[in-house]
Amino acid sequence: MMGFTYPESESPRMCFNSAKSWQLGWYDDKNIEVDPLKESWHGQLVGIADYGRGDYLDRFGFKVIAKLISPDEDNTYYVHFNRKTGINEETNEGEDQVLVTKAVSKRGWPRSSNLEAKLNAGESYFIEDFGDTGETVVVLVNAISKEQSPWFADIWITSADEVPPTNPSIKPPTLPPTARPSPKPTPRPSPKPTPRPSPNPTARPSPNPT
């Protein structure tokens, strides 16, 4: 069990939110920092429970948590896909949705985190006056792909004037099939030799007596 305290010692099976996980340094090698005021980011997020599938995630560039870099370090946004499975199978809010969490700090010291948005495929969350810049940043869920394992959310994080159209029919990446080795040929047993019948002996005639 992780996160908010419950009376049970072994349940519910649910994880810290993305802000707390980032602060603890978890999933670091699968996290990404995004600066939406400089460049749009388009990528795929998998659930925390699928972090262990490292080879698959590396192959397709999947991430676990996206942190939005902001000039205002005391108000930081994090995005993750709250997949309800594995170590997070008993999460009770925002199941299988993309969650936007805001971490509030004071002079760099984390104080609290708040759930700002729960997004389904095709939905967006607008962060107005992002980092006190007057700019609006958008977190857009292009699609949530459930056709394979692991599920993933296809995400755009960008400024409001560069929002792309959504494409809910996005196709999931697929791994190439693993070639199965051909079975070794089974040797055929050699046929037993067929014995040739011995020819009947030819009787030699006895010489006539002289």
Residue 209 has what pLDDT?
A: 56
What 8-state DSSP symbol labels residue 63?
B
Residue 185 has what pLDDT?
A: 53
Residue 1 has what pLDDT?
A: 36
Closest CA to 46 of 79, 80, 78: 80
Residue 13 has what pLDDT?
A: 62
If one counts every other C-beta atom within 10 angstroms of the C-beta of residue 155, the result is 25
Residue 190 has what pLDDT?
A: 56
Note whether 91 and 15 are within 8 A (CB).
Answer: yes
Question: Sign of dihedral through CA atoms 84, 90, 94, 98?
Answer: negative
Reading the block at residue 38, the tokens are 């400089």
> What is the full per-residue pLDDT of the chain (210 aa) written as tens digits?
344 444 454 555 666 688 888 888 889 999 999 999 999 999 999 998 899 888 888 888 999 999 999 998 889 999 999 998 888 887 878 899 999 999 998 766 667 889 999 999 999 999 999 999 999 999 999 999 998 889 999 999 999 887 776 664 455 455 444 444 445 555 565 556 555 655 555 555 555 555
pTM: 0.72
Residue 16 has what pLDDT?
A: 67
